[in-house]
Chains A and B, each alone.
Chain A
Amino acid sequence: MSINRRSFIQTAAAVTASLSAPMVMASGKPRVVVVGGGAGGATAARYIAKDSKGAIDVTLVEPSRTYYTCFFSNLYLGGFRDLGSIAHSYGNLASEYGVNVVHDWAVDIDREGKTVSLAGGGTLDYDRLVLSPGIDFVDGAVEGWDLNAQNKMPHAYKAGSQTELLKAQLASMPAGGVFAMVAPPNPYRCPPGPYERVSMIAHMLKKSNPTAKIIVADPKPKFSKMGLFQEGWANHYDGMIDWIGSEFGGGDVSVNPEAMTVSIDGEQTKVDACNVIPAMKAGRICEMAGITDGNWAPVSAHDMSSKVDSNIHVLGDASMQGDMPKSGFSANSQAKVAAMAIRGALTGSKVFPAKYSNTCWSLVDTNDGVKVGATYKATDEKIAKVDGFISKTGETADVRKATYEESLGWYAGITADMFG
């Protein structure tokens, strides 16, 4: 964040002015800038533009022209989807909803001046700023791995070329070869994500390379939907998957991307493909804005506004909000609450109490879908869980198939809800 002497001195005056003169906009319409065109940001941009019916100028800053959803990227690895089916563009947001889409990186935020600087040199003014930049990785989280090694040992935890690379490496494993995954510590994006990925990779290897082995080194003693995944692994991929939890040294890991070795609890293994999913933190721009506390950006549960600066709303994975998992569904749900609050603040539209929900579907094998979900409410302390459910072990094939089909409907629904 750029606090130069001048803007620092002006802060006190600016704060007083903004308190006594709400909604005084230099150029007429209030302006919202949204940084990040993913599950949180695209939804927020669309809802603010759609529901304010032109009363608010919405600018979306997103470097990529194509957004590959992480959701269903595991199904791409498993051969259930092609890459094109998880690719989305921003065309509709611009043409149908009038969102000003800027393909650039936000590189700095001046909270006093209320501006966002872009890598391309421009500056955007805002009345309200939405940050939904997703995640970055914690430096040094996995010994031997850094971003320079991501071509040898991809993380594939931001979808697109990384996911393609991992798929190609899996496909060229020798017969009976070894694939290793280094799973992340909590909290991280998509709690069931690594385990759905293991399932999908097992599905793919069972067909093309049935004597291959999968090793998972996990720094956690247990994981999301564990009983369901382990049931599925035993049913569909018996003997193929070796999950090593923290009790068995799964957290004591180092990798050597040059030699393609993984050391778990002191034991070194030569691997043919390796997926390293390091510990995560809020997308870097949150840190630059000076709104993080540790690795994440704390927010109010009532409107997703930053606890440091109420003109900034932080959505999705980057936020520290309480009980919701970091998922696309959560980010989308949070975006709607923030959009309503922002419209209320800038145009005086009606604001209702925040309600949130989430459901995460995972595919274990063909037509074997499982799900976990919860509803949440806002308390002064955090987003607090109200009610929830989880699929049961031993469900019939019909139930599992219906769950999978429901996930297809959800995917079509959420992507339409994000991109129009």
Chain B
Amino acid sequence: MYSRLLFGIFIAVIGIAVHAENKKEEFILPSSILEIEGDLAYGEYLASDCQTCHRADNSDQGIPGIHGRETIELVYALHEYKNKYRTNEVMQMMAGGLDDEEIAALATYFASLQ
């Protein structure tokens, strides 16, 4: 969090144009979202939809493996897609259909694997 903030300020100060790929560096989630406790069982059900593409063996051909990643990383990634700070249309759509609790549930579930 803190380093993200500093980085955002740094970019603003030196005046680099913030284009799509850099946008995520200034994307900050409030603690009210980061502190939501994910429901593991709900996450497991929701995750079944993700596992059509994100493979359990974590191979990342064309689509990255996400099993066992940190909760905060997954929460950020999903909110960044939802808010279109990341570009993939499939993920923008999938995350766009999730509310804050569902994102927390999914992140908690995927982080719990391995």
Instruction: Name A's B-contacting residues (CB within 8 A).
Output: 47, 329, 332-333, 336, 340, 350, 352, 355-357, 359, 371, 373-375, 386-389, 391, 402, 405-410, 412-414, 416-417
- Kindly name the residue among A406, A409, A416 whose own CB sees the greatest number of chain B CB atoms within 10 A: A409
A336→B48 contact, CB < 8 A? yes
Bound-complex Cα distance A387 to B90 (A): 11
Is B5 interfacial (CB 8 A cutoff)? no
A389-B92, A407-B62 known; A412 vs B49 contact (CB < 8 Å): no
- Kindly name the residue among B52, B57, B61, B97 whose own CB sees the greatest number of chain A CB atoms within 10 A: B52
Is B33 interfacial (CB 8 A cutoff)? no
Interface positions of B from 77 to 97, Cβ below 8 Å from A: 88-90, 92-94, 96-97
Bound-complex Cα distance A207 to B17 (A): 45
Q: Which of A350, A405, A416 contacts B62 (CB 8 A)?
A: A405
A389→B56 contact, CB < 8 A? no
Q: Which of B46, B57, B59, B63 contacts A355 (CB 8 A)?
A: B46
Q: Which chain B residue has the least Cβ–Cβ distance from A355?
A: B49
A414→B49 contact, CB < 8 A? no
Bound-complex Cα distance A410 to B50 (A): 10
Q: Which residues of B contact A329 (CB under 8 A)?
A: 52
A352→B42 contact, CB < 8 A? yes
A359-B90, A371-B90, A375-B93 known; A409 vs B52 contact (CB < 8 Å): no
Interface string of B31-69 (1 = CB under 8 A from A): 000000000011001101101111111011111000000
B48→A47 contact, CB < 8 A? yes
Q: Which residues of A contact B96 (CB under 8 A)?
A: 375, 387
A352-B42, A389-B92 known; A410 vs B53 contact (CB < 8 Å): yes
A387→B89 contact, CB < 8 A? no
B97→A386 contact, CB < 8 A? yes
